[in-house]
Structures are given as C-alpha cells and as structure tokens.
Amino acid sequence: MSDRNPLPEQVADRLAIRELVDTYAHLADLRDPQGQAALFTDDARVAVYDGEPDTTEPAQVLTGRNELATAFASLRNYDRTTHFNGQSTVTIDGDDATGETYCLAHHLWTEEGQRILMVMSIRYHDTFVRQSGRWFFAERRLITDWVDRRPSTA
C-alpha cells in the first residue's frame, strides 16, 4: 500500500477487492462458471493475451456474463485445477479501482492414459467498479507469462 496510515474505508475496500480476486479463483476450482460470471458487471470484458497487452492482440475476447460463464465452463475439461493467487497491487479512486494480480494456475488431466500437469504463470490486469456497495470486475486482462506442461505422477 502506498499510504502509511490508510483510512478504515480504504482498508475495507482493499480487503473486499482481494476477496473478489480470491473468490474468482476459488469458484474456478469448484467449477462454478455462473458464480464466477456473477463477480463481473453485466457488460464486463475479459481479454486473454499471450504476451503483453501493449504489444500483442488478444487471443480471445469475451463480453458479458453469458459469454464469460460459457468460457469458464471449459474448466470442466480438466480433472482438477488449482489457482494460487500471489502478490497483488491495487489503486482505488472512489468507486473505481485498478490492479494487478499474479497467479499460478495448475491444470491436471489424463491424455492417452497419461496424467498431464500444466502450470501457467499468469497475471491479471483488472479494472474494478463498486456498484450498490459491492466490488465487481469491469474488465480482466489475463496475460500468460509462461506455460510448463509435463507428465504427472500424481
């Protein structure tokens, strides 16, 4: 945090935004695409990048809760996933906020009788908005930094 002595409402907002980010990851691992989509504004946008958004075009763009829920349902293709959120930053300006969160996303499945583990190092560049006293994602840019795919003995 940039403020040495943040006001209680700033602390509450930061905690609420972190809870939003963590709830998204938790619902992904529970395979609850409708629950995930409900964390977004009605007209939210998600863009997926293989590289920095400033220098690459998005590989995929989704808009609105229905498109998001359909895309989130694709996690059911994996036997298991674990999304582990790491460091994050957030800047709050009234009812708007921006932030970046690092995540290691683990995906486990079976392919031709072999268990496969894929670990993705991703970052989310987020735009948040407070509506009716609650924080939502207005936009998420998912940036893939690297992917490691290998046989798994687990």
Q: What is the mean pLDDT of the chain?
A: 95
* Residue range 127-152: mean pLDDT, rounded: 97
CB atoms within 10 A of CB 95: 12
* Residue range 71-99: mean pLDDT, rounded: 97
For the chain, list the domains and their CATH numbers.
8-151 (3.10.450.50)
pLDDT in tens, 47-76: 999 989 999 999 999 999 999 999 999 999
CA–CA separation, 86 and 104 (whole Å) = 8
Structure tokens at 100: 């970046």
Q: Which of 43, 44, 39 is nearest to 28 (CA)?
A: 39
